Amino acid sequence: METPSWFAQEIIRGLAGLRVLKQRNPPSGEEIPGTQMTIAEASATEWIAVLWPAKAWSEKSIPRIREAFRVLPLRGPDWPTVHEFVEMFDELTVRAQNSGFLPAPEITKEEKARLAEIGNRRRQEIVTMLKERHTERDARTFGTAIRNALGLTQESNREPGEES
């Protein structure tokens, strides 16, 4: 199977970014004798040739490919290997799966309705439980506690001329 252009472009873009950051020991721009290719171009070609069959890449991989190239220079000053890139990509994939970074799977209308029903039922259970815990007497007691804390008395709450 031929490597898709989007994949090659992402790898070339990432390698170019590493070169701009001046990682130590990058592939040189010297031409390989007897070819029309520089060592850097041959290196990029090999990265693509080695990486493409190594995983089930898809266009959904693009954000993690970019992130791997962004984070690799933080691991050290030397030009990374293909192996280090794959390790970083895998680490980011695991982190994404564990953090919910990856898009949620599609949910059918039936599943949404079922989940909404569960949520509504649970919400009603909580409301009922809270009502049972907090009776009107609790509200009066709470109100009295607030009035006492604020220094308000029953008399100070009465209108002038009102009797107790």
Residues 9 and 87 in one domain: yes
Residues 147 and 129 in one domain: yes
User: What integer pLDDT is reported at residue 27 of this predicted model?
Assistant: 79
Give the total number of structural domains in the chain.
Answer: 2
Answer whether residue 51 is part of any domain.
yes
Residues 73 and 127 in one domain: no
Residues 29 and 51 in one domain: yes
pLDDT tens by residue, 62-118: 999 999 999 888 888 888 888 998 998 988 888 877 776 555 556 778 878 877 887
**Residue-range definition of the domain harbouring residue 129:** 109-157
Answer whether residue 57 is part of any domain.
yes
Residues 81 and 121 in one domain: no
Residues 11 and 88 in one domain: yes
Report field, pTM of the whole predicted structure over 0.75: no
Answer whether residue 149 is part of any domain.
yes
Domain boundary among 75, 99, 123: 99
Answer whether residue 139 is part of any domain.
yes
User: What integer pLDDT is reported at residue 156 of this predicted model?
Assistant: 47
CA 117 – CA 110 distance, rounded (Å): 11
User: What integer pLDDT is reported at residue 135 of this predicted model?
Assistant: 60
Domain boundary among 99, 129, 144: 99
CA 152 – CA 18 distance, rounded (Å): 70
Q: DSSP labels for 66-124? A: HHHHHHGGGG-SBPPPHHHHHHHHHHHHHHHHHHT-SPPPP--HHHHHHHHHHHHHHHH
